[in-house]
Chains A and B, each alone.
Chain A
Amino acid sequence: MASLISCPHCGTRPKEEFSIKGDATRMRPSPQAPAEVWHKFVFIRDNPKGRHKEFWHHVLGCRRWLVVERDTLTHEVYGVTDAQQALKAGEAVE
Chain B
Amino acid sequence: MTGSRLSSGGLVDRSRSLSFTFDGKTLSGYEGDTLASALIANDQLLVGRSFKYHRPRGILTAGSAEPNALVTLGRGGRTEPNTRATVAELYQGLEARSQNRWPSLEWDVGSLNSLLSPFLGAGFYYKTFMWPKAFWEKVYEPFIRMAAGLGRLEMEADPDRYEKAWAHCDLLVVGAGPAGLMAALTAGRAGLRVILADEDFRLGGSLLPSMASVDGAKAADFAATTVAELQSLGNVTLMPRTTVFGWYDDMVFGAVEKVQKHVAVPSHDRPVERLWRIHAHHAVLATGAIERPLVFGGNDKPGIMTASATSTYVNRYGVSPGDRVAVFTNGGTGYRTAQDLVSAGIQVTAIVDTRAGADDRVPDGVRVVRSAGVVDTQGRKRLGSIIVERAGFEEEIACDALAMSGGWTPTIHLACQRGAKPVWSEEKQVFLAPDSDPRLTLAGAANGLETLAEALADGAAKAFAVLAKLERTASGTDVPAVEEARSSVHSPVWYVGGARSKAFVDYQNDVHVKDLALAQREAYSSVELSKRYTTSGMATDQGKIANQNATGIIAAMRGISPGEVGLSTYRPFYTPVSLGVIAGTSRDEHGRPVRRSPLHAWAEKNGATFVEAGLWYRSSYFLKPGEKTWREACDREVLNVRANAGLCDVSTLGKIEVKGPDAAEFLNRLYCNAMLKLPVGKARYGLMLREDGMVHDDGTVSRLAEDHFFLTTTTAMAAEVLSHMEYYAQTQWPDLDVTMVSVSDQWAQMAIAGPKSRAILSKIVDADLSEEGFPFLAAREVMLKGGLAARLFRISFSGELAYELAVPAGYGEAVADLVMSAGAEHGICAYGLEALNVLRIEKGHVTHAELNGTVTPDDAGFGKMMAMQKPDFVGKQLSSRFGLTAADRLQLVGLKPVDPKNDIRTGAHLLKEGAKPSMANDQGIVTSNCFSPTLQHPIALALLKSGRERMGETIVVFDRLRGDEFPAVVCSPVFVDPENAKLKGEPARPARPAQKEAAE
Contacts and interface: CB of A to CB of B under 8 A. Distances in A.
A49 interface: no
21 contacts: A1-B249, A28-B732, A31-B871, A31-B872, A31-B876, A31-B877, A35-B877, A35-B881, A38-B878, A57-B723, A57-B726, A59-B723, A64-B730, A65-B727, A65-B730, A65-B731, A75-B249, A75-B250, A83-B731, A84-B731, A88-B734
Chain B, interface residues (CB within 8 Å), range: 20 to 34
A41 B249 CA distance: 31
Contact of A27 (B249, B250, B692, B732): B732
B692 A42 contact: yes
A38 B166 CA distance: 45
B691 interface: yes
A28 to B, nearest CB: 5
Contacts of A83: 730-731, 734
Interface in A1-53: 1-4, 14, 19, 21, 24, 27-29, 31, 33, 35, 38-39, 41-43
Given A35-B881, A38-B877, A41-B691, A3 B727 contact: no
B249 A84 contact: no
A59 B166 CA distance: 20
A87 B734 contact: yes
A83 to B, nearest CB: 5
B734 A57 contact: no
Contacts of A87: 731, 734
Given A4-B250, A4-B252, 15 more contacts: A2-B249, A2-B250, A3-B248, A24-B731, A28-B691, A28-B732, A33-B877, A35-B877, A57-B727, A64-B730, A65-B726, A65-B727, A65-B731, A77-B250, A83-B734
Q: Which 3 residue pairs spanning A and B have beta carbons closest together?
A: A3-B252, A31-B872, A87-B734
Contacts of B726: 57, 63-65
B478 interface: no
Contacts of B252: 3-4
B68 to A, nearest CB: 36
B735 interface: yes
B988 to A, nearest CB: 43
B636 interface: no
Contacts of B876: 31
B249 A3 contact: yes
Nearest to B729: A84
Contacts of A55: 727, 731
A14 B277 contact: yes
A4 B249 CA distance: 8
B905 interface: no
A41 to B, nearest CB: 7
Interface of A: 1-4, 14, 19, 21, 24, 27-29, 31, 33, 35, 38-39, 41-43, 55, 57, 59, 63-65, 75, 77, 83-84, 87-88
A30 to B, nearest CB: 8
Contacts of A31: 871-872, 876-877
Contacts of B249: 1-4, 75
A81 B412 CA distance: 36
Interface string B877-891: 110010000000000
B618 interface: no
Contacts of A41: 691
Contacts of B730: 64-65, 83-84
Contacts of A65: 726-727, 730-731
Contacts of B734: 83-84, 87-88
B279 interface: yes
Contacts of B877: 29, 31, 33, 35, 38
Nearest to B727: A65
A63 B727 CA distance: 10
Contacts of A88: 734-735
A21 B693 CA distance: 18
A47 B25 CA distance: 61
A1 B689 CA distance: 31
A3 B250 contact: yes
Contacts of A59: 723
A55 B727 CA distance: 9
B994 to A, nearest CB: 35
A35 B692 CA distance: 12
A50 to B, nearest CB: 15
A29 B406 CA distance: 66
Contacts of B732: 27-28
Contact of B691 (A21, A33, A42, A64): A42
A28 B690 CA distance: 13
A1 B710 CA distance: 38
A14 B166 CA distance: 10
Interface string B221-248: 0000000000000000000000000001
B250, B735, B876, B878 — which one has the most chain A CB atoms within 10 A of its CB?
B250
A43 B690 CA distance: 12
Contacts of A29: 877
Contacts of A19: 723
A55 to B, nearest CB: 6
